[in-house]
Structure 1
Amino acid sequence: MIAKLTDHLSLNLPFLKDKKLLLAVSGGIDSMVLVHLLQQLQLDIYIAHCNFNLRGEESDGDETFIRSYASVNNIPIFVTNFNTKAFAQDNKVSIQVAARQLRYLWFNELLQEHGLDYLLTAHHLDDSIETFLINFTRGTGLEGLTGIPQQNDRVVRPLLPFSRNEIELYAKENNITWREDSSNASDKYLRNKLRHDVVPILKSLNPSFTDSFTQTINYLQQAQSLLQDATVLVYQEVVTEKEGQKHINILQLKRLPNYKAYLYQWLSPFGFTAWDDIYGLTEAQSGKYVISNGYRLLKDREVLILEPLQQAQNEIYEITQNMQQTTNPIGLKLQKVEVIDEISTKNVIYVNNELIKFPLFVRKWQEGDYFYPLGMKGLKKKVSKYFKDEKMSLSDKESTWLLCSENQIVWIIGHRADDRFKTNENTTQILKIEFNNNEKA
């Protein structure tokens, strides 16, 4: 196994040489074999052990065992204790998810604080088989069928080519001691049930199952790589990015064979799961949308707009009489002038300062808001109707601010001023208000 690992590291993971390696060590057979192997290769290793306090004395025994091993073998060690149950309850996640989140947050802290280069875990071939089966039974895309990745950024799994049988044989041949986790014997978790009941049947049906699985995973990983390349190329043709949004051209998208596959590849990283609803957006009316935990996909005429979800903004921002400039929530410049030296535009207006009552307020529009559009001679109009007539998307509406004097709209900022505050030949106090979209908090 030493020779096979040496070849594997040299061929696939040569960057680990001469690096400081943090090993996630539970005390089980897999992690103890990993420690032993890397000791034989004389790599620069450090041990990290988490006590999740889930199995009482057994958990404490694991910690004592690891501390003793590190001391005897002169290996630097980091140990931490977690109240995993409390964390799971507070964050409304399962114990397994809680433990994973806690340990990886801590591992990343260790890497940063101690100048360590990579985190190594003892995942092996059978773990990858179980992950494949879990994803397969739950339903997944191609990426869910490619097993456990050999590397995720600074997390590396050097034992993935090795089966559980190889690891057990190496442990016995080298008299390696380890701790048994009693929870591994329970079929409470899906992974254990697959490990105990399903995988043995597959191996009995095909004695070369692990070799066949490895070959299949390689093929699937190659197919995934090709898909990712194609996805990037098509993305550049169909999607444009601007102001934190991604605009997917529906007409160009639907010219593609299997366009739904591209949507899945582009959108799944943003947490979307309601795929039938997403595919339906291509035929839906403008204004329809689908949300994930943090993002929204909006149909706006001939494009799908992907953007972060914004929290409801009911805030009201005050502009006092002495303020000449503001950047929160948007950039506004206020200046008293003697004459109107340029024509009013969408971004610059002139108002009669005698009609303005300070403080002014900046807020988002609300249902029922109305104003008197400049130049329409006293015609009252609902803000919602103005938005509709201007064919503004839902995203544009939500990002638009109003400048108000008391309960009256002075300006739909960046769009249209109100006629009630306009200047005329008798105006003696002129206030110039300028909108700078690039100056905002």
Structure 2
Amino acid sequence: MVMLDKVRQTIARWDMISPGMTVLVGVSGGPDSVALLDILVQLRDELQISLCVAHLNHKLRGPEADADAEYVKELAGRYDIPAVVEEADVAAYRKEHGLSMEEAAREVRYRFFARALGHAGADRVALGHQANDQAETILFNMIRGTGLAGLAGIPPVRGLYVRPLIEVTRREIEQYCTARGLNPRTDSSNLNVEYTRNRIRKELIPYLEREFNNDIVASLLRTGEICRGEEAYLEEQAAKSYRAVLRDKGNESITLNIAALMDLPLAIQRRVVRLAWAEASGSRGLAFLHVERVLALASRRNGASSLHLPGDIVAECQYDTLLFRASAYERGPFHFVYTLRVPGCTYIPELDVSLWTEIWQDFTVTNPGGFPANEAVVDYDRVKLPLKVRTRRKGDIFEPYGLKGRLKLKKFFINIKMPRRDRDQTPLVVDNRERIVWVGGQRIADFCKLTGDTRKVLFMRLLPGSPGFE
């Protein structure tokens, strides 16, 4: 079948899946995800993979959403595939965290996928994004203003997330569903043009097809393909240039040679600045405005000698060098201790971060590896309440997950090459025996890891800002 060949080629081209993997398939019940599941079922023996279905009921469409969940359960049963099905109050989450409905749904959904990865012991999450979604994303990014990365659109592979249908059109998927006798659900929210993406799909693209280019989707996909290749090349060149202009890389700072930086082409200058900031801050995505301010500083166009950047970073000109350093370094060490609300949220004003906790019942995760660095899961029954969050103390001992034995926390920090300036600002979650449960953003303790006997899980998540400004 043509569809199977196309998806097979996409999987191979982007090295999405390897033999022996367990693939978690995100299934909403709509045509894209239902087709994806059916295709992977047909290819699983050839690919030598196991499958698991994941579905999240967002509780936004009442009985319709409940019916979607039942449909997905039945579908998984028909294929004899295990399913992880949960529900979440996205509307409440949106209100609590001050997000748009689209942002809230996306954040809740990816948190669910992270949990489901662990639940299933899966290696990859396969999502149903297809070629039309790609075109709509490129157009959406273009409208907001973007660089090559935004014009490249949705990456076929991002970390553990893969998109086997990214080169298949919506029409091809609809035809496939008909030919296979599949009866996917219809999500009425996809018709609501209050959502920007729906308006692009239902109004803007048809208008562009009608008035300007009847093959606009193919044109946008071509643009994305071109930009993906050029973005990869420029990133490679920027990395080489960054190494060339790097004067010093210490525990406390990144130092660039200004003259060498300003001799680079402007496009590479911007990327080098982003790389330096990313390495200093541990974050990604420095906005264009901030990049331009750094370059103005380096060329002495704004008369300033330093400026503050997101991520608590200061860019500073020192003679012939441009220094990126943590502004917190100026403050020196500080100390705090707070009782942790379980479940709930504890704000740490010294760090301007919030530590959120949840308790998950009847959970059988054995693989916590699917969680990002700012999240952690531990066996609730193995820690002794009350829990506290505090800074390090002299003589702290840690039993890192995955390593045998205990060691001084200071030695652990040295082993992971944590800069000295960060050690006094790393939140430690400890139980009432002062055992370190989680070195925030780094690693949990081995004594409270999840096992096959785990039935109650403590989920922890660090987020910037106070609870009202997630």
Common topology (TM > 0.5) = yes
| Aligned-partner residue type, residue 255 of structure 1 | D
Q: What residue number does 2:76 align with?
A: 70
Displacement after TM superposition at 1:65 (Å): 1.2
Match for 2:17 among 6, 15, 18? Answer: 15
1:171 is aligned to 2:180 = no
2:7 paired residue number: 5
How far has the Cα of 1:231 moved from its partner?
A: 0.3
Shift of 1:294: 4.3
Contact 1:231 1:265 in 2 (8 A): no
For 1:315 and 1:222, the matched residues in 2 are separated by 46
Supply the distance in 2 between the matched residues of 1:40 and 1:255 (Cα, whole angstroms). 55
Cα deviation 1:124-149 (Å, max 9, x = unaligned)? 11111111111111111111100110
Structure 2 SS opposite 1:15: coil
Residues 285, 299 of structure 1: 8 Å contact kept: no
Relative to structure 1, is the Cα distance of residues 136 and 11 closer, same or farther in structure 2, using a 3 angstrom cutoff? closer
Change (3 A) 1:22 1:309: farther
- Give 1:21 deviation, angstroms: 0.6
**Aligned partner letter, 1:214:** L
Deviation (angstroms), 1:225: 1.3
Which residue of the other structure, out of 202, 206, 219, is the alignment partner of 1:196?
A: 202
| Correspondence for 1:92 | 98
Which residue number in structure 2 is paired with residue 228 of structure 1?
A: 235
Change (3 A) 1:270 1:10: closer
Specify the alignment match of 2:114 in structure 1: 108
2:309 is matched with which residue?
291
Distance 1:85 1:210, change over 3 A: closer
Q: CA deviation at 1:330?
A: 9.5
Distance, in Å, in 2 between the alignment partners of 1:158 and 1:196 is 24
Task: Kindly state the Cα deviation for residue 24 of structure 1 after the two structures are TM-superposed.
Answer: 0.8
Q: Could you say if the C-alpha distance between residues 314 and 208 of structure 1 is closer, same or farther in structure 2, counting changes exceeding 3 Å?
A: closer
Residue in 2 that maps onto 1:123: 129
* Deviation string, structure 1 residues 410-433 (Cα, Å, up to 9, x no partner): xxxxxxxxxxxxxxxxxxxxxxxx
Normalised to the residue count of structure 2, the TM-score between the two structures is 0.63
Conserved? CA contact 1:24–1:121, under 8 Å: yes
| Residue identity opposite 2:251 in structure 1 | E
Is residue 142 from structure 1 mapped to residue 160 from structure 2 by the alignment?
Answer: no
1:262 is aligned, of 253, 267, 271, to: 271
Q: Are the counterparts in 1 of residues 129 and 165 from structure 2 also a CA contact under 8 Å?
A: yes
Q: Which amino acid is 1:290 matched to?
A: H
Distance in 2 between residues matched to 1:148 and 1:234, nearest whole Å: 27
TM-score (norm 1): 0.67
How do 1:239-318 residues align onto structure 2 when only pairs under 5 Å count? 239=246, 240-258=248-266, 260-263=269-272, 265-266=274-275, 267=277, 270-273=284-287, 274-275=289-290, 276-282=292-298, 283=300, 284=302, 287-310=305-328, 315=334
State the number of aligned residues: 326
* 1:322-352 alpha-carbon deviations (Å, 9 max, x no partner): xxxxx97899xxxxxxxxxxxxxxxxxxxxx
Per the TM alignment, residue 215 of structure 1 is displaced from its structure 2 partner at its CA by 2.9
Consecutive unaligned residues in structure 2, runs of 5 or more? 337-390, 396-420, 424-470
Bigger mean CA deviation after superposition, 148-157 or 240-249: 240-249
Q: What's the offset of the Cα at 1:58?
A: 1.6
Deviation per CA, 1:210-257, whole angstroms, max 9, x where unpaired? Answer: 443333322211111110111011000112321142222222211223
Is residue 2:64 matched to residue 1:58?
Answer: yes
Question: How far apart are the structure 1 equivalents of 2:312 and 2:84?
Answer: 35
CA RMSD of aligned residues (A): 3.0
**What amino acid is the match of 1:50?**
L
Consecutive unaligned residues in structure 1, runs of 5 or more:
318-326, 332-396, 400-441
Distance in 2 (alpha carbons) for counterparts of 1:182 and 1:201: 22
| Of 199-208 and 62-71, the range deviating more from structure 2 | 199-208
Counterpart-to-counterpart distance in 2, 1:264 and 1:236: 12
Cα offset, 1:263, TM superposition:
4.2
2:306–2:314 contact (8 Å) kept in structure 1: no
Percent of counterpart pairs with the same letter? Answer: 27
CA contact (8 A) 2:132 2:170 kept: yes
Match of 2:219 among 193, 212, 232: 212
For residues 160-198 of structure 1, the C-alpha deviation after alignment (integer angstroms, 9 at most, x for no partner) is 000111111111222211111111111111111110112
